[in-house]
Copies of this chain bind each other. A is one copy, B any other.
Amino acid sequence: MATTWVPNVSPTSDFSLANLPFGIITTPSDPLPHAAVAIGTSVLDLKALSTSPLFTDLFPSLPPQIFSHPTLNPFAALGRPTHRAVRAALQSLLSTGDSRLRDDPALRAAALLPLAQVKSHLPMAVGDYTDFYAGYHHAFAVGAMFRGPGAELQPNYTRLPVGYHGRASSIVVSGTLIRRPVGQFVLDPAEGPVVGPSRRVDFEVELGCFVARGNEMGEAVAVGEAEEYVFGYVLLNDWSARDVQAWEYVPLGPFNSKNFGTTVSPWVVLADALEPFRVKGVENPGGEVLEYLRGREDGVFDIGLEVDLTTPEGDTTTISRTTSRHLMWSFPQMIAHHTLGGCPLRTGDLLGSGTISGPGGAEERGCLSEMTQGGKKEVLLYGMDARTFLKDGDTITIRGACGEPGARVGFGECRGRIYSAEQRR
């Protein structure tokens, strides 16, 4: 792997030259949201770069304003071969030995900025958000809690990637505060439901997938072509109010228990950057799937995932370590199923994987509900602290990365803090 001339790129950085994730930023000198790539502790401001003749040298066929939009949608819509070519050209530009930007002090000053000085924004305009349930061990554990041994998985679980339509309007970028939702739930079945701040606010560790290309309404996407519809990936926290969920979800699925906020990491790791990390997912215990769902064997990625809980007092504990190889359905399978009946996907649509948990103990589970067996056991934190569900002021930070030191492909942070339902904003 090539090395970079960009200073201060630590071997442990998520944003290596092998990664170059895309995001939307504002900077001290440019308050209009626009596109950038992250490398080490810097960003390359692609809008600033586009003011230089170097831009047309690098990307002769790109519209010059493509990175000046407030979302990555116009770039994503150009399709995966273009994303591949642009990323490769940027990798060249930033490689040790390439002098074009390195030795242009004025352009460097304008376009290569400290990451700490820029503000990240939601990278895509999301038309529709769909959340799947593809984490096998999560589905199994939740089923065991609700239905007991022998009936953990619904009959459809192994036959199709179960999913539901989520709420696009409450998708926010990492760092956005999340208000503890008020909701309706049952404390005492004899008393009926009450209204109040949820007492069981939880997180869910997921991988999010942004759609590059849309399909026409009425036309399905074949599983073998679905990779071409993927722009890239982010980490996703599907905040959940478990007390609200238990009361509301029959028969039409989760609603207010999920629509108060969904946090995504700001840097979109392009699909090509993850290609080296393909693995086989969880083997489907139901055997061979129907033909329209038969994709390549190594359909998922082995991304190491970690969850930190930081208390209001500032103490941080890593409460979970897992990997995205625990998915049983791949995103191409989800796309093939989603479009089977003709549902149109559009550029910028977001697909969530569903909660990702390992098969073992609490320390590899992707949500508190699993870790605590529905609130029955505590998760121990640094010092003498413990949790069943989240307290006001708690921060959840999800990190994810794969690859060797010096060539790590990581996501940075997907972070959110819960604030009190009573607090005015």
Given contacts A340-B184, A340-B195, contact A217 B172 (CB under 8 A): yes
Q: How many residues of A contact B (CB 8 A)?
A: 62
Q: Is the CB of A343 within 8 A of B253?
A: no
Q: Is the CB of A128 within 8 A of B344?
A: no
Given contacts A156-B248, A248-B160, A260-B341, contact A169 B220 (CB under 8 A): no
Interchain CA distance A218-B345 in the complex, whole Å? 28
> Which residues of chain B have C-beta atoms less than 8 A from A169's C-beta?
127-128, 217, 343-346, 349
* Residue A326 interfacial (CB < 8 Å): no
Q: How many copies does the complex hold?
A: 2
> Which residues of chain B have C-beta atoms less than 8 A from A338's C-beta?
256, 259
Segment with Cβ contacts to B, from A71-79, A110-118, A175-183, A376-384: A175-183
Given contacts A169-B349, A170-B343, contact A160 B184 (CB under 8 A): yes
Residue of B164, B182, B255, B340 near A220 (CB, 8 A) is B182
* Residue A292 interfacial (CB < 8 Å): yes
**Chain A, 231-261, contact with B by CB distance < 8 Å: what is the 0/1 string?**
0000000000100100111111111110111
Given contacts A128-B169, A170-B217, A218-B179, contact A252 B163 (CB under 8 A): yes
Residue of B164, B172, B341 near A181 (CB, 8 A) is B341
Interchain CA distance A248-B250 in the complex, whole Å? 14
Q: Which of A133-172 contact B (CB under 8 A)?
A: 133, 154, 156, 159-160, 162-170, 172
* Residue A193 interfacial (CB < 8 Å): yes
* Residue A105 interfacial (CB < 8 Å): no
Q: Is the CB of A341 within 8 A of B253?
A: no
Q: Is the CB of B250 within 8 A of A252?
A: no
Can you list 11 A-B pairs, Cβ within 8 angstroms, ordered by A? A128-B169, A159-B192, A159-B193, A162-B251, A169-B344, A181-B342, A183-B340, A195-B291, A252-B254, A256-B337, A261-B342
